[in-house]
Amino acid sequence: MLASTGYGATSADEPLSKMDFQRRDPKPDDVQIDILYCGVCHSDLHTARNEWGNTVYPVVPGHEIVGRVTAVGNQVSRFKEGDLVGVGCLVDSCQHCSACGEGLEQYCENGFVGTYNGEEMHTGGMTYGGYASNIVVRDKFVLRIPDNLDPAGAAPLLCAGITTYSPLRQWQVGPGQKVGIVGLGGLGHMGIKLAHAMGAHVVLFTTSPGKREDAKRLGADEVVVSKNASEMTAHNNSFDFIVNTVAAPHSLDAFLELLKRDGTMTLVGAPSSPHPSPQVFNLIMKRRRLAGSLIGGIAETQEMLDFCGERGIVSDIEMIRIQDINTAYERMLKSDVKYRFVIDMASLKQEG
Ligand code: NAP
Ligand code: ZN
């Protein structure tokens, strides 16, 4: 087994703390990576605190990983020692169901293996994520980070980037379309940048009036404070597509009313308790659709990284030390982050 050190939670109500654990011995098709940076996703917090009810402790969160390859198995030809690589939310899948066959490993019919809190296919134990010194990942699930991107700023692309890119592509967002992004957090700020880069007219919906100027700087054409009813109704029946990233239950009707006939709102935010059921009439009267989307497959994640490489798109980050992860979680809950915390993993070697 390979020794690893990281930060994890031992129960839902304990803060994250330093822990030593084991990775599997690298296999012939594995890539061994020293982790440089790891983004802090709201899903990490949901999982550390068992808000989705499926956490197996101890859990080491982190699925926005950028690092350097330190070794490869003898069947690996795509990567070599020294390469700058990324690992997102997936580290394995069955590879033979119809979803995997279409490159949609996130919808693997036999269950994908999550980067953390997933069932390890080889050891029978659990997977541990990127708040750690190193990781061992099957080569098919390792991504290339474009050379021109800042490695720390690229880390959040591995989850926040692909989770917004995938639905924008699936619903064919482009010039001439009016697209809404709900919530300006980690996912939302990537949603603005990507939808803007795809040529759409982008409107940001926020509960935080203080984020107006930032949203415009990030690429929003308009900003709506969603608590302000008149600002909302001014946009009735006008959106082609809305991506909703909000991490807490809220009324979906307020946004469904803004969709045009045949418009779609796709939920990517994953609150621990359900949204109130939307009014059926808001859907049937204009054939509107309410949808969901889960991260993205490996090929699409590489496509997104290359798209960002060509345009110089990275996340706006605040770098933290791993020792400050519990404070970062509290700040994330208060929407006090611009717009993604990224852990500098060199801090693991520092004391307290
Ligand atoms: P985040 O950085 O905390 O951002 C969430 C944003 O939602 C906040 O910045 C805030 O934006 C808004 N918000 C928070 N509480 C709210 C409330 N009570 N009412 C209205 N708006 C509220 O979180 P994130 O990392 O972007 O993740 C967002 C959600 O997506 C989480 O639930 C996460 O688990 C989920 N997720 C899903 C996938 C997927 O594949 N579907 C992938 C990754 C993450 P404003 O201040 O602008 O209102
Ligand atoms: Zn995530």
Note the pLDDT tens digit of each residue in 98-153: 999 999 999 999 999 999 999 998 888 999 999 999 999 999 999 999 999 999 99
DSSP states along 40-80: --HHHHHHHTTTTS---SSB-----EEEEEEEE-TT--S--
What are the φ and ψ backbone dihedral angles of 47, each rounded to 5 degrees?
Answer: -75, -45
Q: Is 8 left (phi over 0), alpha (psi -120 to 50) or beta?
A: beta
- Long-range CB contact pairs, 236-239, < 8 A, 24+: 237/261, 237/286, 238/178, 239/178, 239/179, 239/180, 239/203, 239/263
Rounded mean pLDDT of the chain?
97
Q: Where are the domains of the chain?
A: 2-159+315-349, 160-292
The set of residues, in sequence order, having a beta carbon less than 8 Å from that of 306 and lying 6+ positions away, is 146
Q: At what angle do helices 298-311 and 186-197 cross, to 10 degrees?
A: 70
Amino acid at position 220, single letter: A
**Ligand nearest, relative to CA of residue 88:** 2
Residues 289 and 265 sit within 8 Å (Cβ to Cβ): yes
| Identical fold, 2-159+315-349 and 160-292 | no
297 alpha carbon to ligand 2 midpoint, in Å? 14
Residue nearest to atom 13 of ligand 1 (CA): 246
Atom of ligand 1 nearest to the CA of 208: 46
264 has pLDDT over 80: yes
Give, as residue ranges, everything with CB less than 5 Å from ion ligand 2: 41, 43, 159
38 alpha carbon to ligand 2 midpoint, in Å? 11
State how far the Cα of 53 lies from the Cα of 51, in Å rounded to an integer.
Answer: 5
79 alpha carbon to ligand 2 midpoint, in Å? 24
**60, 62, 64, 1: which is closest to 27 by C-alpha?**
1
| 184 burial via Cβ count (<10 Å: 0-12, 13-18, 19+) | buried
Token reading at 332:
């994330």
CATH 3.40.630.30 fits 2-159+315-349, yes or no: no
Percent of the chain whose pLDDT exceeds 70: 100
| 310 burial via Cβ count (<10 Å: 0-12, 13-18, 19+) | exposed
Place of tokens 């994330």: 332
279 has pLDDT over 80: yes
161 alpha carbon to ligand 1 midpoint, in Å? 13
Percent of the chain whose pLDDT exceeds 90: 98
**Ligand nearest, relative to CA of residue 268:** 1
Atom of ligand 1 nearest to the CA of 340: 2
294 alpha carbon to ligand 2 midpoint, in Å? 10
Atom of ligand 1 nearest to the CA of 204: 47
Q: What is the pLDDT of residues 183-206, one digit of tens each?
A: 999 999 999 999 999 999 999 999
Residue nearest to atom 8 of ligand 1 (CA): 185
State how far the Cα of 23 lies from the Cα of 186, in Å rounded to an integer.
Answer: 28
The set of residues, in sequence order, having a beta carbon less than 8 Å from that of 168 and lying 6+ positions away, is 179, 191, 194, 195, 198, 200, 241, 243
103 alpha carbon to ligand 1 midpoint, in Å? 26
Grouping H, G, I as helix, E, B as strand and the rest as coil, residue 301 is helix
Atom of ligand 1 nearest to the CA of 294: 40
59 has pLDDT over 90: yes
43 has pLDDT over 80: yes
pLDDT at 351: 74
Region 202-214: what's the mean pLDDT? Answer: 97
pLDDT at 243: 98
pLDDT at 123: 86
Ligand 1 binding residues, C-beta < 6 A: 41-43, 46, 159-160, 163, 183-188, 206-208, 211, 245-248, 250, 268-271, 293-295, 332, 335
pLDDT at 266: 98
pTM above 0.95, yes or no: yes
- Give the model's confidence band at 352: pLDDT under 50 very low, under 70 low, under 90 confident, else very high: low
**Total residue length of the chain:** 352
Q: How many CA atoms lie within 13 A of 26 on its CB side?
A: 21
Q: What is the pLDDT of residues 221-250, one digit of tens each?
A: 999 999 999 999 999 999 999 999 999 999
**244, 234, 127, 130: which is closest to 184 by C-alpha?**
244
pLDDT at 96: 97
Token reading at 184:
């300006």
103 alpha carbon to ligand 2 midpoint, in Å? 19
State the fold for domain 160-292: Rossmann fold (3.40.50)
